[in-house]
């Protein structure tokens, strides 16, 4: 029985590690959503991706940025 537990210990450690990592990422996602800090960074990353692979999508993004900057009250 002890030998069997010795075989299960590495598996249980891996499962525990994955549970901790998933818990951390869940907490991090909630924290970021609550603070609203992911919006600009995510938008910028997607704009770079769109510019590289979807030229018209990047053009649309830049047009929206110009419109948003022009719509601000002075």
Checking if the pLDDT of 25 tops 80, the result is: yes
Q: What is the pLDDT of residue 24?
A: 95
Residue 71 has pLDDT above 70, yes or no: no
d(CA 41, CA 44): 5
Per the confidence metrics, is the pTM higher than 0.85?
no
- Distance CA(38)–CA(24), nearest Å, equals 17
Residue 69 has what pLDDT?
81
Distance CA 11, CA 5 (A): 10
Interatomic CA distance for residues 28 and 38, integer angstroms: 11
pLDDT of residue 19: 97
Quote the percentage of the chain above a pLDDT of 90. 27
Range of weakest confidence among 6-20, 36-50, 55-69: 36-50
Domain residue ranges in the chain: 1-37, 39-74
Asked if residue 1 lies in contact with residue 7, where contact means CB atoms within 8 angstroms, the answer is: no
Tell me if 61 sits within 8 A of 47, measured CB to CB. Answer: yes
């Amino acid at each position: 029985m002890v030998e069997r537990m010795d075989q299960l210990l590495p598996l249980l450690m891996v499962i525990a590690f994955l549970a901790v990592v998933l818990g951390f990422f869940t907490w991090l996602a909630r924290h970021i959503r609550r603070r609203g800090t992911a919006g600009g960074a995510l938008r910028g990353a997607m704009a770079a991706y769109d510019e590289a692979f979807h030229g018209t999508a990047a053009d649309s993004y830049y047009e929206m940025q110009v419109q948003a900057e022009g719509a601000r009250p002075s």
